[in-house]
A = this chain, B = another copy of it.
Amino acid sequence: MKKLSLPPGTRDFLPQEVRSRNRLIQIIRNNFELFGFSPIETPSFENLSTLLGKYGGESDQLIFKIINSGDFLKKQKYKFEHLSQLGLESGQKFIEEQLNFRSFLVEISEKALRYDLTIPLSRYVAMHRDKIHFPFKRYQIQNVWRADNPQKDRFREFCQCDADIIGSKSLWQEIELIQLYDKIFSDINLPVIIKINHREIISGLADIAKIKDYWRDFIISLDKWDKIGSHNVWKEMIRRGIPPENLKKIQGVFNIDGNFEEKLNKLSAIILSSEKGKKGVEELRFFLKIIKKVCLDWVDLQFQISLVRGLNYYTGIIFEVNPKGIYLNSIGGGGRYDNLTGIFGLPNISGVGISLGLDRIHLAKKMMNPKSEDHTPLRVLFLHFGEEESLYANRLISKLRKKVIPAELYPKAEKVKKQFQYAIKQKIAFVISVGKKEIVKNKIRIKDMSKTTEEVEYDCIEDFIKEITL
């Protein structure tokens, strides 16, 4: 027999994990609702054409494609036979074409698994535009799939929690989203830093340095700031071929320091000659002015000039959330995108949103508190003695359940010791015995499994219910 296994990058979740993940989801969902967002859900797979070419770079390869149902080669076979009749050469040419990855792919696959929640949102907004009243505040908590190389904190199936506002350019949305992060991470009890930047500042710097041709290299190098430091970012840029004389025009950026406001002031002087850059700085100034006056209880904000956020579609303020004091990739991020639904035929709709990575938040909680709380509900087990006793127990169990106390009968009349073992393994809180003697006396005996004391006799189940629901 082959050893049983799961596909790489996927996981089974044991009961305690499902319970603690569901608790996190509940906190996030409640806060999304508190902030006025409404839930939507989209299918796990979309048309391949909806997803391909939307994520930039090599991302298309990371999208999981689904093979068309039925005999997907039938059409191929037909074509082959047809061409073969025209002569061996054309038949062979056809085969060679078929062995070309992209053209063949389109023939055998029309669907692909959701890669993120943002492109499906854009498709949703463009498709249901007539039913939507803008500004549209939606949240979505669903799995996404990516054929990335699996790592400690990178999975091929993971859960994203997104909240977006579509159809409003107001910067008060960015303020609200930071307050939303603040409330969520406070409720989750996970200390975090939120890094802030503006995409137009990065574009502005590239404009000033006149290094548009090196945009990719510029971005990729900048993104390494946190890991290798600004000095090495400079070196990396030069190594990648960006002319030093160009870089010198924005040299000041590499030594920028101070608090949010001080950094903004210094940057302001450097970026003066770029309209885009100025707009970015102004928006961040407004953001900073307001955010200082609203109440934030929990998160730390940090202006970080090197923050890029890989995805292509951002155009305004961008965020990234990192847990404090542990080494982990970002657990959330987001920002403003000005033309996301344009690709689906609905131009000039501005959106802004945040995302939370449930799996990494869960991991961060576990890393910060390895002996995490147990969310197993308090359960009651009735011992199984025989038919008469079980029927009696069954009625008491129904009473407990009506009072929302999980209760069950042990499946069969096995040795009492074995039944108690089950109770211990299942972390059951109370074991109740109702034997023939108790039925006659109209009593029940209850053992509190958290104590070493003996069983206690109760007059009726109601007394016990009263005691444990106090």
Chain A interface residues (CB < 8 Å from chain B):
1-2, 4-7, 10-15, 18-19, 22, 30, 33-36, 38-47, 49-50, 61-62, 64-67, 69-73, 76-77, 80, 88, 91-92, 95, 99-101, 104-105, 108-111, 113, 123-124, 126-128, 131, 133, 135, 137-138, 143, 145, 147, 157, 165, 168-170, 172-173, 175-176, 179, 183, 290, 293-295, 344-345, 376-377, 379, 381, 384, 387, 390-391, 394-395, 398, 401, 404-409, 411-412, 422, 425-426
* Chain B, Cβ-Cβ closest to A122: B4
Task: Name which of A6, A50, A169 has the most chain B CB atoms within 10 A of its CB.
Answer: A6
Chain B's nearest CB lies how many Å from the CB of A18?
4
| Contact, CB under 8 Å: B6 / A384 | no
Chain B residues with Cβ under 8 A from A67's Cβ?
64-67, 105, 108-109
Query: Considering the chains assembled together, what is the distance between the CA atoms of A12 and B44 in angstroms?
Result: 10
Q: Which residues in B have their C-beta under 8 angstroms from that of A168?
A: 411-412
The distance from the CB of A317 to the nearest CB of chain B, in whole angstroms, is 15
A7 touches B104 (CB 8 A): no
Residues on the B chain within 8 Å of A406, using CB: 33-36
A7 pairs with B109, CB closer than 8 A: no
Cβ-defined contact, A395 with B294, below 8 A: yes
A49–chain B nearest beta-carbon distance, Å: 7
Q: Which of A64, A143, A411 has the most CB of B within 10 A?
A: A411
Cβ A157 vs Cβ B43 within 8 A: yes
Asked if B42 and A133 make an inter-chain contact with CB atoms under 8 angstroms apart, the answer reads: no
A-B contact pairs, 6 of them (CB 8 A): A18-B39, A33-B406, A45-B64, A64-B67, A80-B99, A168-B411
CB distance from A336 to the nearest CB of B (A): 13
A7 x B47 contact (CB < 8 A): yes
Tell me whether B73 and A6 are in contact (CB under 8 A): no
Distance in Å: Cβ of A460 to nearest Cβ of chain B: 17
A411 cross-chain contacts in B, Cβ below 8 A = 135, 165, 168, 170, 172-173
Q: How many Å lie between the Cα of A18 and that of B17 in the bound state?
A: 24
> CB < 8 Å: which of B92, B294, B391 contacts A294?
B391
Complex: A62 Cα to B138 Cα, angstroms: 33
A69 x B62 contact (CB < 8 A): yes
| B36 adjacent to A408 (CB under 8 Å) | yes
Contacts of A377 in B (CB 8 A): 33
B33-A422 in contact (CB<8A): no
Query: A99: which B residues are within 8 A, CB to CB?
Result: 73, 76-77, 80
Q: Let me know if A379 and B36 touch, CB within 8 A.
A: yes
Q: Is the CB of B7 within 8 A of A46?
A: yes
- Taking CB atoms, residues of chain B closer than 8 Å to A71 are 101
A401 touches B101 (CB 8 A): no
Closest to A352 in B: B411
**A33 proximity list for chain B (CB < 8 A):** 377, 406
